[in-house]
Amino acid sequence: MIQTTPVQERYTRFSCPNPQCARFNHPGEGNIVHRSWTGTHKHIDRLRCTACDREFSEREGTEAKDAAMRDWCARVTQQTGQQWEYARINQSDFEARVPRTLAEAIQALTLLQG
């Protein structure tokens, strides 16, 4: 697996999911670090908050986000009369493959699901 994002920038979009932590919901403060790789293909980032030591998956909270995106697509489909669909590509998968086109990104998604 090739990681192309510089280490110091890779986890700035994440924040601590622990409501009791001082860094809860504050992305970009440098407290989120890589812990390990998980999943069948070792492609899911397990992260750790250095402030409270809480470990969590990069995918934590994605179910609610996925549901919101599917709902958005359904509403836009209804309003426009054109079919809108949602597909999630996890950041680590995206960074490992660096797709240059939407077709390449979707191909990567298909490979993961297949």
Residues that bind Zn ion in the complex, under the rule CB under 5 A = 16, 18, 21, 23, 49, 51-52, 54
Smallest gap from Cβ 24 to Zn ion, in A, equals: 6
Smallest gap from Cβ 55 to Zn ion, in A, equals: 10
Nearer to Zn ion, 10 or 23 (CB): 23
Nearer to Zn ion, 50 or 77 (CB): 50
Category of 18 on φ-ψ map: left (φ > 0), alpha (ψ -120 to 50) or beta: beta
Which residues are paired to 57 by β-bridges? Answer: 46
CB 46 within 8 A of CB 57: yes
Tokens 């790789």: give the residue.
Answer: 37
